[in-house]
A and B are shown apart, each in its own frame.
Chain A
């Protein structure tokens, strides 16, 4: 069942992105940045965690989860260290997306030749 909801919720978030592309004529960069901010806001109000419980990868795979985990890391550290933790804990949870992108970006640049 979790696979079904992952498909539906993940697909729905992508449709929101497509509407921002086509109806509001936003560039991909604007769309993705907005979605990240929306994800961060949703976690600020404590709404993203229930969505992950409900849809699994349907909520963790779209880029909105990046904003969610940034806020999550910041809040976790803030509980321990107060305001300083907001800065130091920022990448606590979400490091894998960025580090994977950097590592595989470098490996890709070594392995593959540009096309065209």
Chain B
């Protein structure tokens, strides 16, 4: 009986695999490349603006650039435009920092009806939380190993 069930499941999985629409890899990659590249170029324009008018250096210009991009993301997400870009671009809109911003802001707007504390506060990092977790934890391990190597290994 149990064996039979397993067999059915396997058959179903194979069936589902056959029926699954093939993802157009090349087309998706070209779209991701174009939109991702475009977002980074916009970022570069903003960076140049900050370097010339607000005396940031090339070292620390990343910070205001990221903040500005996330501000723009807020507008695009709020008016429902970012979703449409994401449908077209796939990873091209998810991988830049605007995708991180969109994940936070969309969750915040969506859960607003549940109240600001439980809804917005509780769900804001539902999607973006894992990025922060693994970013911070891996950075901790890497910096720890490097510091130990430098201090005791004389690297």
Return the CB mask of B122-155 against A: 1 if under 8 Å, else 0.
0010011011111110111011111110010000
Q: A31 CA to B92 CA in the complex, in Å?
A: 12
Closest beta carbon of chain B to A45's beta carbon, Å:
9
Interface centre among A10, A75, A96 (most CB of B within 10 A): A10
Q: Is the CB of A96 within 8 A of B109?
A: no
- Tally chain B residues at the interface, Cβ within 8 Å: 81
Q: Which of B33, B89, B99, B146 contacts A63 (CB 8 A)?
A: B99
- Contact residues in A for B63 (Cβ distance below 8 Å): 93, 95-96
* Chain B residues, CB < 8 A from A56: 44, 47, 58
Q: Is the CB of B91 within 8 A of A14?
A: yes
Which of B48, B62, B120, B138 has a CB less than 8 Å from the CB of A40?
B138
Interface 1/0s, chain A 1-40, versus B by CB < 8 A?
0110011111111111111111100001101111111011
Enumerate chain A residues within 8 angstroms of B37, measured Cβ to Cβ.
Answer: 6-8, 10-11, 14, 58
Instruction: Contact check, B97 vs A108: say whether CB atoms are below 8 A apart.
Output: no
A 72-97 binary contact with B (CB < 8 Å = 1; else 0): 00110010001101110010010111
Q: Which range holds the interface residue count of chain A?
A: 35 or more
A109 near B112: Cβ-Cβ < 8 Å: yes
What is the minimal beta-carbon distance from B152 to any residue of chain A, in angstroms?
Answer: 11
CB distance from A32 to the nearest CB of B (A): 5
Task: Name the interface residues of A32-53: CB closer than 8 Å to any CB of B.
Answer: 32-37, 39-41, 43-44, 52-53
* B131 engages A14 (CB within 8 Å): no
Query: Chain A residues near B136 (CB, 8 Å)?
Result: 70, 90
B14 touches A (CB below 8 Å): no
Count chain B CB atoms within 10 A of each CB in A6, A61, A96 and give the residue with the most.
A61
Query: Contact at A62–B97, with CB atoms within 8 Å?
Result: yes
Kindly list chain B residues whose C-beta atoms are within 8 Å of the C-beta of A18: 28-29, 31-32, 90-92
The contact string, 1 if C-beta is below 8 Å from chain A, for chain B 59-93, is 00111111101110110011110000000011110
* Chain A residue contacts of B124, Cβ below 8 A: 102, 105
Residues of A within 8 A of B34 (CB): 11
Chain A residues with CB below 8 A from B151, complex form: 82-83
Contact (Cβ within 8 A) B47 A36? no
Residue of A nearest to B64 (CB): A96
Given A7-B40, A102-B104, decide whether A63 and B142 contact each other with a Cβ distance below 8 A: no
